[in-house]
Chains A and B, each alone.
Chain A
């Protein structure tokens, strides 16, 4: 008989319950040993509701209720504590309690975050596309999205930076009268003022793909099935669309007409249903108004017939030229349009005429290879040989314009001077520098290609001249070169692995240090080009900058290594650690290095104060305990926190050693002198004592402790207000006051 399983047995295979899918291996222990994730019953007072961070939270009725956290309390152990207000004369409540409680006072982080979220403004998704609705987006070829950039392209950004705005054309601004609307006669408004306007935007050249088998310009009958085509290519006129400007339905490919928009009433075969809607707003099929005329008779009426006729006539261009009444305004517009325009809608340049047909000769030549160009005889050689001696550009292989442009050293400014443009008003820092300062910067940055300084002639003309080899040698301070050379003589020099290169480096340094006669050129490795040579010399110049010996405080912080780094070329016997007897050689004598004063004293046997130095040593507390000694005084404070000099240890010897070691920014003597002269200035004395306290003076520390900072009182603010005259003197101008 099946008895009820005891809780203990159930708990025993709790883990198996929690990971029923683990067949091999040992299942991971549950994330939280306290909670059980097996869905067993937990009484309501045991349930806990936590937020994402795992904290106990009081939730609203829908997310846990008051069972969250502490049961039936307001989420705290003690329950809710009413807010108190205490104020006394001595201790006034500074900021009055909030006069009004806001909802935010009762919101926790999650609620606040939600409120923040709700305040965010963002566009709906349909705005993301290219001014399209969602269903048009559906038709987009996803492949095209790969190539189409969303948002502003770099070109648009650049144009906008230059002052262009969307909707404007590109080019210099035009002075013309304002065009206030179509109804205004262009010639008429003589009283209008001339203004500067941005040029008109030129239309995009859109070439419409013809992918049906209908005649040119014929869009076919408007059918239900054709609705998408009509939608996607509205330029191709439907049957029945009347157009007075162009011959009905006939378009020159690639020149869409804008006048198309003002299309007349559409009159289809059986009326226009909702399915025939081509998407344009002005053709609401159910629009009530005089434009709409419903067809009530099957078979069409007289008007419809006429439409068919015009549709047929479109095939014959002669019929199109039947006399039609043309208004005066339209006539002038037409007259203008007799000048043929380029595809971007502009008139051709002065003196140029657009050709009416393609070049007859070229068209003949291109006709299916009738007159092919003559074959070049195989043994023919051009009389114009490219000269191999001079490196003329013609001898070089073809280079694209981009690579040439990348290689050219012309800056925008030098290009402008070459083209004879006026200089832009923009100024660089160098326009304010004297030539002297500029040369200093040039030597410091090692860059000779800096813009000319104030009053200095532009060097662009000289830079175009062929450079002499002398000028190719990179600049290097004579001082730096000397020091880098000096470092080489004392021991180390770069390029140890390549003696030839090292020799070249040395020559280069000698030239720059002025040790060689003027005009000598650095050695050049055999079989290298000018460019390689210059590159190597630049490398030398940088190496000299890096490997010059350090000066000043930096030099004191480093000591040269006793052994040179092992080079691949060095063939050092590595078995020198064992001697002939097989006994490991435990100690090796260090090679000669610079000696400290103490070592020098030791060398001459002057052992004593010269060779002795005393430092502080911080044994850990455990170590002192193991050695059964009391920790030294400066270990009583945690040595990790205490600065090395701030111990209160009374050992005068150590403190003097420390103070000697310390880099004294202001000499102790100077400080004393200053203190003597500025006797009355108490703050100064305090501050100097603070400095002393840092060097291990106990008295200094006590003084530091005496300085009490009162957080409630700001000396600067609560001082007596100075007289009006002071403010006048500082903030001065009376004219502002009046």
Chain B
């Protein structure tokens, strides 16, 4: 099985650790990165070359007063939301590089954000260190959240909104699946602090990263363990993992600076890539269309990986 393990380009420009990397919606032409230097960068990886510094940097979004921890892009690519240490959720207009809305209400830094709902007037879901998930309405001008989900017992580190379901992972070691249509909350105890949750495209399984250097694929229907992926190091930092290549590959960063890829079904390591100067590789993102993915590291760079030529 071929895996895109060739370093296509390296996106530079950040002066601090990069915490999150996201591909734009639809075709996934652009990459958005959020960093500790309080800036959000918009890159076009196709126009970037690894030798030229700051090449491919299209736009810089600066409004955050603290580090940027997560970014989510709306379906129509017109807006994106970013969260970070300033306990607020920022909704940006991509073109004008200005914040459209800012919602405050979280009691701690906001770890994760996601777009939800249908159409342009959807909602923004944010999970915070204050152990709450807040759902903000983009349509109305209300500054209050539509709903606050307070079931988590510890910091909500990661969330993924798919359809009518909100999947959250918390440091209390539990994956919570809020099913809006059924009005049910499914709680799966993983036992270890969760750093990343991601649902598969078919909606039947959730990929869960935990601080015991293990990534688990959990069955969403009955909470059983489908597969576990080991080999990387993840005991201290929030290392994101993701599913790629039409949900056939599991990709994750590692604290030893390497990037690992596993086969989804068999759980074997199919690729190990060295990057980020041996520093923590904190986040990965997969392009939904092309066979391409990106990884972000504490060294302040974003590596874009593609198929070998």
- A-side interface residues toward B, CB under 8 Å? 579, 581-590, 596, 598-599, 601-603, 605, 607-609, 611-620, 622-624, 626-635, 649, 651, 654
Contacts and interface: CB of A to CB of B under 8 A. Distances in A.
Interface of B: 16-17, 36, 67, 69, 85, 111, 116-119, 121-123, 135, 137, 139, 146-147, 151, 154-155, 157, 164, 171-173, 178-191, 193, 195, 211, 216, 218, 222-225, 235-238, 279-280, 282, 298
A632 B181 CA distance: 6
Given A583-B237, A585-B236, A629-B164, A609 B222 contact: yes
Q: How would you classify the secondary structure of chain B's contact residues: helix, strand, loop or mixed?
A: loop
Contacts of A634: 183
Nearest to B123: A626
B183 A618 contact: yes
A658 B211 CA distance: 31
B237 A611 contact: no
A587 B155 contact: yes
Given A581-B280, A602-B191, A627-B164, 7 more contacts: A589-B236, A614-B187, A615-B184, A617-B184, A626-B146, A628-B117, A628-B118
A587 B238 contact: yes
B252 to A, nearest CB: 15
Contact of B151 (A599, A603, A615, A649): A615
Contacts of A587: 155, 157, 171, 193, 195, 211, 236-238
B139 A598 contact: no
A613 B186 CA distance: 6
B223 A611 contact: yes
B123 to A, nearest CB: 5
B185 A627 contact: no
B181 A630 contact: yes
26 contacts: A579-B237, A583-B237, A586-B111, A586-B157, A586-B237, A587-B171, A587-B211, A588-B171, A589-B211, A590-B154, A590-B172, A602-B173, A605-B225, A607-B188, A608-B223, A616-B183, A620-B147, A624-B180, A626-B121, A626-B122, A626-B139, A626-B146, A627-B116, A629-B180, A632-B184, A654-B184
A634 B185 CA distance: 13
A627 B119 CA distance: 9
A371 to B, nearest CB: 88
A564 B223 CA distance: 33
A635 B183 CA distance: 8
Nearest to A602: B191
A585 B282 CA distance: 11
A620 B140 CA distance: 15
A601 B236 CA distance: 23
Contacts of A649: 183
A633 B183 contact: yes
Contacts of B173: 599, 602
Most central of B119, B164, B216 by chain A CB within 10 Å: B164
Contacts of A579: 236-237
Contact of B180 (A584, A589, A608, A623): A623
A583 B118 contact: no
A634 B183 CA distance: 8
B262 to A, nearest CB: 18
A628 B222 CA distance: 26
A629 to B, nearest CB: 5
A653 to B, nearest CB: 8
Q: Which 10 pairs show the lowest CB-CB distances between chains A and B?
A: A632-B183, A602-B191, A612-B223, A617-B185, A607-B225, A598-B189, A611-B189, A626-B117, A628-B118, A586-B238
